[in-house]
Structure 1
Amino acid sequence: MAPATLTFLGAAGTVTGSKFLLTIGGRRVLVDAGMYQGEKHWRSMNWAPFPVDPADIDDVVLTHAHMDHCGYLPRLVKDGFAGDVWATEGTAALAEIVLRDAAYLQERDAEHATLHGYSKHKPVLPLYTEQDVQRTLTHFRAVAYDTDVELGNGVTCRWTRAGHILGSASVRVSTDRTAILFSGDIGRHDHPVLRPRDIPPGAPFVVVESTYGDREHPEPERAHEDFAAAIRRTVARGGQVLIPAFAVDRTEVVLKTIGEMQRDGRIPMVPIYVNSPMALNALRVYRSPAHRDELRPDLDVEEFLGLPNVTETPDADSSRELNDLEGPAIIISSSGMATGGRVLHHLEEMLPHPRNTVILTGYQATGTRGRSLEEGARELKLHGRYIPVRATIVRDAEFSVHADSSDLMDWLGELDPAPETTFIVHGEPDAAAALHERIADELGWTSAVARYGEVVVVEPRTTRRHKDRA
């Protein structure tokens, strides 16, 4: 029998597009099916033919419901994937919201580009449609944490809580000859809303993310003081605050922080608008009793999801009315990297005015509008036009729910047994290289920064030597 192999088809050399293909005996298992975001070079790969015929993939195993881990699924189904998609209940619930929203935005963006003629493609087509998403949802199979699930052909999967977003997990894939542990996105040691991560059983091979592999999260004396100060200054000059926030998990954390600051008198009480249908749907999942065991036991959900000065704007008309707002206000809208969604319309209206402030609350991938703002861009291209950036731009790194370098090392160091080889993915080159050096220096392990398209054998050396002698 041919040895088990792992092929890196995404999140290698970049943070987005997570896709890892395991070939074990006669079975092909794709771990995550993420969409590329950020730089045009990577985004164009969403449209390239998939390196393997999707019809030949038996299963997709998801770690969590962020776009860069599940957003490519409908395209796989559109192109012939007919197997099962395995995910925790929380991931399945959030993935439905994320994928429906993605298809809606893609269809609307294609229509807008066609109408205004700013795309070189004729005709302008979405990567997939809402109908493709509907077909994809029929493939989902929900699994429980810490439970072995048999996929077939002797392949077993086990999901362990990762503490990144609701439903997120590290996934261990095993056979009688080998095991590979995929970290997924690992949460910080102390998530403000979710229960903390658990440590999964070790494996001979580990695939670990490195988003913040080269940095530590700040731990200031007073939490989120840059965030609070920016709001106070903006309100004092009669401006408005725009917070681009990831619809899944970040909006909840931002609302919790704002509520605490209002109660403590750190920021004034001003109107707050949550203008993201996806975020509002995700909030309902977090409120659901079905997922209450995912949340911290000391958390009162209604304390921050039921703030009296919060207005939800689910429909397009109420969203457009926000452009005519007068006086100070806080608007929370997605997407968090300003790659699409309603936040683009707010940026178009608010960026030209010095009285306003944009607060970035999450990781901004290379090539995104959020990264451009973070790096001091003086203009931003939106809907085919360049918009001047005169508003104040503030970055609050404390909101990140990604493990920093020390969190990653702590997680790795607790694995038992230690791996034979660790593969580093889901990081920009500097971050991945820094984690590679730290693993060698502090743990003395063999590790490698994965390259796109690279194929590696994932069977322990002892197993391979035994087979060779046989």
Structure 2
Amino acid sequence: MSASPFLTFLGAAGTVTGSRFAVDLGDERVMVDAGLYQGLPDFRRRNWEELPIPASSIEGLALTHAHLDHCGFLPRLVRDGFSGPIVCTRETAQLAEIVLRDSAHLQAEDAGYANRSGYSKHHPALPLYDDSDVEKTLPLFEPVEYGVPTDLARDVRGTLSPAGHILGSSTVLLEAGPSRVLFTGDLGRDRHPLLLPPAAPVPADVMVIESTYGDRRHPDPDPEHLAAAIRRTIGRGGSVLIPAFAVDRTELVLVALHRLTQEGRVPRLPVFVDSPMALATLDVYRRAVSAPSPQLRPEARVLLEALDGLDLRAVRDPEHSMRLNRPSFPCIVISASGMAAGGRVVHHLAHQLPDSRNSVVLTGYQAEGTRGRQLLDGVRQVKIHGRYVPVRAEVVQVDDFSVHADAEDMTAWLGRATEPPSTVYVVHGEPSAAEAMAQRVRDELGWCAVVPRLGERVRLD
């Protein structure tokens, strides 16, 4: 009798981040994603916990996309003994290289700052991994084309399909023996300005779906919301700070700013992109346009080339970045990270939040426990680098930029399946969002839907 395949939820269960899933078939083991936890301290501490499976036992890994909460644990996995292939698209490999190098740099920088300032509980504070771990990880990437089955182990293979979330993003179909399990990773929206919509789900016995927005519907786009916030800020003589993810989100914000400027809704202002990672990512997107990539909409070339019409100023060195802590003239500063969890934007917030002339524009999902979530919830002070900073700047949320499927998008996508799965496992959501998404799948599609526990192990046959 052949072995039964099992799926273990090693992450992204009960929270949005930390994507990690293991599939076992007899003595064969593969993973889908290896992401970092972000947000609440209890979640971030999980990054330091030893996995319940030996890293050296993992024969191969399929990576859905290059966001940190899906790929950011890879160097630690390699440090702990993983040496198998990392299967993903070419663009995911290019973007992951940028993201992982930046992650190692930021971790070393944050650990050094914590040691110098003495605010860390750990003595000395150490990074989770370093540059050498990243350099050992990069040769393991094996880019593949969409729709091409690829061996991850002797009896396990994976096939990628476009997910429409960010450039290179994929859903992953794992065939483990006779069982087929489909992972959505982060599923995109039909309205992405640059990318084509996600491909329809392929037939699968089991589906593992995200639920970041599982309890809500995205509002209709309202460009005037962002435009009005910029005009108010400039009218006060302040500057606009936009925490934005370096991968994909910065591109979409720039496209929106160009459109608002062209339409005369906002004055032409200096727009600083203060993120070497975002600038490198923009180059990857521009190369994809030149290729051209089949993932992109036909109008993507025009939209990205039009960015040259902005007063766009690239900020690469730390000295220039420090001058943007207190801009001497009204401007827009776009800086990572999108949830204000780390990076240069944290230093900008420390200096700009106390000034009521300024504004902070939040452009995407803010995970529980992040500074972005605290600002969104209206806190009057926020802790940065060991001390509290008063929040006097205007905080504005703009929902137009989300590239996650909402509850309606996900249900509609699932409804395109040619045959129902036996079970849908709902992950990548805060508990209320995941349960709401599961209930929707039960009510509207009549399928079995379960919100798994962290560490839970289930049969796939």
Q: Same fold (TM over 0.5)?
A: yes
For 2:120, the aligned partner's letter is S
1:366 has 2:368 as partner: yes
Asked whether the equivalents of residues 104 and 130 of structure 1 are also in contact (C-alpha less than 8 Å), the reply is: yes
For 2:359, the aligned partner's letter is T
Asked whether the equivalents of residues 17 and 36 of structure 2 are also in contact (C-alpha less than 8 Å), the reply is: yes
Aligned to 2:293, what secondary structure does the other structure show?
Answer: helix
Note the alpha carbon deviations across 1:294-339, whole angstroms, 9 max, x for none.
Answer: 3211221443432341100011121122234222100000000000
The alpha carbon displacement at 1:25 in A equals 2.6
The equivalent of 2:229 in structure 1 is 230
Which aligned pairs between 1:184-203 and structure 2 lie closer than 5 A?
Answer: 184-203=185-204
The equivalent of 1:467 in structure 2 is none
The equivalent of 2:333 in structure 1 is 331
Note the alpha carbon deviations across 1:220-255, whole angstroms, 9 max, x for none.
Answer: 5xx222111100111111110000000000000000
The alpha carbon displacement at 1:82 in A equals 1.1
1:278 has 2:280 as partner: no
Distance 1:198 1:140 in 2: 23
1:246 has 2:248 as partner: no
Aligned to 2:51, what secondary structure does the other structure show?
Answer: coil
1:83 has 2:80 as partner: no
Segment drifting more, 225-234 vs 293-302: 293-302
Aligned to 1:311, what secondary structure does the other structure show?
Answer: strand
For 1:13, the aligned partner's letter is G
Distance 2:3 2:177 in 1: 14
CA spacing shift, 1:26–1:304, aligned 2, 3 Å:
farther
The alpha carbon displacement at 1:290 in A equals 4.2
The equivalent of 1:451 in structure 2 is 453
The equivalent of 2:385 in structure 1 is 383
Percent of aligned pairs with the same residue? 52
CA spacing shift, 1:64–1:47, aligned 2, 3 Å:
same
The alpha carbon displacement at 1:215 in A equals 0.3
The equivalent of 1:71 in structure 2 is 72
1:115 has 2:116 as partner: yes
Asked whether the equivalents of residues 274 and 331 of structure 1 are also in contact (C-alpha less than 8 Å), the reply is: yes
Note the alpha carbon deviations across 1:36-60, whole angstroms, 9 max, x for none.
Answer: 0001111000001111110111111
CA spacing shift, 1:324–1:366, aligned 2, 3 Å:
closer
Distance 2:216 2:448 in 1: 21
For 2:229, the aligned partner's letter is A
For 1:279, the aligned partner's letter is A
Residue-pair matches, total: 457
Asked whether the equivalents of residues 194 and 297 of structure 2 are also in contact (C-alpha less than 8 Å), the reply is: yes
The equivalent of 1:22 in structure 2 is 23
The alpha carbon displacement at 1:433 in A equals 0.8
Distance 1:264 1:305 in 2: 14
User: What are structure 2's unaligned runs of at least 5 residues?
Assistant: none
Segment drifting more, 296-305 vs 322-331: 296-305
The equivalent of 1:136 in structure 2 is 137
For 2:246, the aligned partner's letter is A
The alpha carbon displacement at 1:386 in A equals 0.6
Aligned to 1:32, what secondary structure does the other structure show?
Answer: strand
Asked whether the equivalents of residues 26 and 153 of structure 1 are also in contact (C-alpha less than 8 Å), the reply is: no
Aligned to 1:31, what secondary structure does the other structure show?
Answer: strand
Which aligned pairs between 1:97-176 and structure 2 lie closer than 5 A?
Answer: 97-176=98-177
CA spacing shift, 1:189–1:302, aligned 2, 3 Å:
closer
The equivalent of 1:216 in structure 2 is 217
Aligned to 2:294, what secondary structure does the other structure show?
Answer: helix
Aligned to 2:309, what secondary structure does the other structure show?
Answer: coil
Asked whether the equivalents of residues 275 and 315 of structure 2 are also in contact (C-alpha less than 8 Å), the reply is: yes
Note the alpha carbon deviations across 1:157-178, whole angstroms, 9 max, x for none.
Answer: 1100000000000000014411
The equivalent of 2:183 in structure 1 is 182
Segment drifting more, 233-242 vs 190-199: 190-199
1:417 has 2:419 as partner: yes
For 2:161, the aligned partner's letter is T
Which aligned pairs between 1:306-321 and structure 2 lie closer than 5 A?
Answer: 306-321=308-323
For 2:8, the aligned partner's letter is T
Note the alpha carbon deviations across 1:150-196, whole angstroms, 9 max, x for none.
Answer: 23322221100000000000000014411000011000112111122
Which aligned pairs between 1:280-299 and structure 2 lie closer than 5 A?
Answer: 280-288=279-287, 289-290=290-291, 292-299=293-300
The equivalent of 2:260 in structure 1 is 261
Distance 1:326 1:108 in 2: 27
Aligned to 2:207, what secondary structure does the other structure show?
Answer: strand
Distance 1:74 1:152 in 2: 21
Asked whether the equivalents of residues 357 and 392 of structure 1 are also in contact (C-alpha less than 8 Å), the reply is: yes
Distance 2:388 2:156 in 1: 52
For 2:374, the aligned partner's letter is S
Which aligned pairs between 1:344-359 and structure 2 lie closer than 5 A?
Answer: 344-359=346-361
Distance 2:186 2:223 in 1: 23
Q: 1:393 aligns with which of 392, 395, 400?
A: 395
Aligned-residue CA RMSD (Å): 1.1
For 2:261, the aligned partner's letter is Q
Asked whether the equivalents of residues 195 and 297 of structure 1 are also in contact (C-alpha less than 8 Å), the reply is: no
User: What are structure 1's unaligned runs of at least 5 residues?
Assistant: 460-470
The alpha carbon displacement at 1:385 in A equals 1.1
Distance 1:304 1:352 in 2: 35
The alpha carbon displacement at 1:270 in A equals 1.0
Distance 1:307 1:128 in 2: 40
For 2:250, the aligned partner's letter is T
Distance 1:66 1:301 in 2: 23
The alpha carbon displacement at 1:26 in A equals 2.3
The alpha carbon displacement at 1:261 in A equals 0.4
1:440 has 2:439 as partner: no
The alpha carbon displacement at 1:87 in A equals 0.7
The alpha carbon displacement at 1:291 in A equals 5.9
Asked whether the equivalents of residues 62 and 87 of structure 2 are also in contact (C-alpha less than 8 Å), the reply is: yes
Aligned to 1:294, what secondary structure does the other structure show?
Answer: coil
The equivalent of 1:13 in structure 2 is 14
Aligned to 1:422, what secondary structure does the other structure show?
Answer: strand
Distance 1:291 1:171 in 2: 23
Aligned to 1:174, what secondary structure does the other structure show?
Answer: strand
For 1:360, the aligned partner's letter is L
Distance 1:312 1:139 in 2: 31
Distance 2:459 2:412 in 1: 26
